[in-house]
């Protein structure tokens, strides 16, 4: 399966090589690339999405990070009936001199940020209402993340908040933004493993996801991490997917 995927996707076009690809199970290929240029990664998502739409049983799971970059989705989370969400939308005209490149993309949500200290997970897969619906997929991505971090000793994480994300108290550890085309998903979760104080300072006037920059925290601020934490997290996170997403 790996060889067929390599032939279909032409890794060199996206600054990848064969070592970036691994087979997780008989229907799932994982692509890993740290500090991946955002436009290249986005183009790869689009090509992987086409391949999954052509071969619905295939899953392509991307684990990566990006250099400092901003992305803006289709719009902020909308409140449910009777609910008030105090979110501040991003207006690019009010910020003509942004500190980092900005990309307008297809996912839901407002302005968000990426940096090399994140673990980013993009699931490219065909949804199935009976086995893996969108709501179940999102819940389980968060649950797998909580399980891994709890096994490291970090407690008190939850995603039962009126604002979508992974939270520790009133601080946000991970953002989620999904796009769907022909029942297939792309984009996904960005988990702040490492702290990036430079980016938080730069975002102080930009309201990522409609929130103040100070709302965001990182696993590194809540517990000590080893130098290989991002690879360790990737391995343990994917093991949970392998066990649960049959």
CATH at 14 = 3.30.930.10
Of 120, 238, 135, whose CA–CA distance to 189 is shortest? 120
Question: Residue 52: CB partners within 8 Å, gap ≥ 6?
Answer: 58, 59, 60, 124, 125, 126, 184
The answer to whether the beta carbons of residues 121 and 34 sit under 8 Å apart is no
Amino acid 35: pLDDT: 98
Q: Which domain holds residue 31?
A: 2-244
Q: How do residues 172-221 score in pLDDT, each as one tens digit? A: 999 999 999 999 999 999 999 999 888 877 777 676 556 677 888 999 99
Identify the CA nearest to 123 among candidates 176, 188, 46. Answer: 188
Give the total number of structural domains in the chain: 1
User: From first to last of its 246 residues, what are the pLDDT tens digits of the chain?
Assistant: 888 899 999 999 999 999 999 999 999 999 999 999 999 999 999 999 999 999 999 999 999 999 999 998 876 545 455 444 444 555 555 556 778 889 999 998 778 899 999 999 999 999 998 889 999 999 999 999 999 999 999 999 999 767 889 999 999 999 999 999 999 999 999 999 999 888 877 777 676 556 677 888 999 999 999 999 999 999 999 999 999 998
Q: What is the pLDDT of residue 83?
A: 45
Q: Report d(CA 134, CA 127) in Å as an integer.
A: 7
Report residue 220 as tokens.
Answer: 């590194």
Both tokens assigned to 191:
């988990």
- Residue 45, Cβ neighbours under 10 Å: how many? 22
Q: Torsion angle of alpha carbons 176, 108, 97, 171, nearest 10°? A: -30
pLDDT digits (tens, 9 = 90+) for 119-140: 999 999 999 988 899 999 999 9
Strands 28-33 and 59-64: parallel
Model pLDDT, residue 87: 43
**Which of the following is catalytic: 20, 63, 64, 209?**
209
Q: Is 64 a catalytic residue?
A: no
């Amino acid at each position: 399966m790996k060889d067929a995927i390599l032939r279909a996707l032409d890794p060199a076009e996206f600054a990848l090589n064969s070592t970036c690809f691994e087979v997780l199970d008989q229907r799932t290929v994982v692509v890993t690339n740290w500090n991946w240029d955002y436009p290249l990664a986005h183009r790869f998502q689009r090509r992987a999405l086409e391949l999954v739409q052509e071969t619905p049983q295939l899953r392509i799971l991307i684990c990566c990070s990006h250099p400092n970059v901003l992305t803006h989705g289709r719009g902020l989370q909308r409140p449910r009936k009777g609910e008030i969400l105090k979110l501040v939308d991003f207006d690019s005209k009010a910020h003509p001199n942004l500190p980092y490149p900005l990309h307008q993309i297809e996912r839901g949500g407002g302005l968000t940020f990426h940096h090399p200290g994140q673990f980013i997970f993009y699931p490219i897969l065909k949804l199935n209402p009976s086995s893996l619906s969108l709501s179940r997929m999102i819940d389980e991505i968060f649950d797998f993340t909580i399980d891994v971090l709890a096994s490291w000793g970090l407690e008190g994480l939850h995603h039962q908040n009126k604002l979508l994300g992974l939270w520790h108290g009133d601080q946000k550890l991970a953002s989620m933004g999904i796009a769907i085309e022909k029942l297939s998903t792309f984009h996904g979760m960005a988990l702040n493993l490492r702290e990036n104080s430079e980016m938080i300072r730069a975002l102080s006037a930009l309201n990522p996801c409609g929130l103040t920059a100070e709302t965001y925290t990182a696993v590194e601020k809540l517990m000590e991490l080893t130098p290989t934490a991002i690879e360790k997290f990737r391995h343990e996170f994917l093991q949970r997917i392998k066990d649960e997403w049959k």
